[in-house]
Chains A and B, each alone.
Chain A
């Protein structure tokens, strides 16, 4: 089945630094990738939709300059959290559309100290 590999699974960074999260589709081409964030005990909130070769579409209230999304190839999409602050600490999950629906990465736990 379709697999999305997400790395890193967890990361701790200092406030003010940037962090990059990668999602790779291993055995299929991911034309569309979705990025979600999830706070503890809460649901997944869609941040943005990225399509290969074009600019990402951000949901209302999501700062596009803070959460940079790149989808330069059909197998790789990245989310960069720029100038991270403690309030950016969260669980980030990517998801790719497939013929059967959606496949999710295993998530990245970001802690900003």
Chain B
């Protein structure tokens, strides 16, 4: 079975500061890992994903994440926060094609950006 843990249900940063959202996963098979952003009453938008290959993944809006197998982590970072980054962020794990490829989500982290 797979699971995802996001450390910190709420993170607050100042505009221009570093954003770090933490994600740890558990998977019995090589995982596929995703970060999504959700704005109020909207669906999910993919920020970035890791399937295979390079462990440092760059996504949209200046976000990036690094897959660290030894730490079972996939933390999301952005060098400089913008007001428009305020939203809910979800880390998710999939087993690829095994078990139907279900996507399992972490609890979510609400990011606030202070002016």
Contact = CB atoms under 8 A, between A and B. Distances in A.
Contacts, number: 52
Interface of A: 6, 32, 34, 41-46, 49, 51, 57, 91, 93, 95, 97, 100-102, 104-107, 109
B32 A101 contact: yes
Interface residues of B, number: 23
Closest 6 CB pairs of A and B: A106-B43, A104-B43, A104-B44, A44-B105, A43-B105, A107-B43
Interface SS of chain A: strand
A49 B100 contact: yes
Contacts of A104: 36, 43-45
Contacts of B49: 100-101
Given A105-B43, A107-B42, A107-B43, A97 B101 contact: yes
Interface string B33-59: 010100001111110010100000000
B25 to A, nearest CB: 14
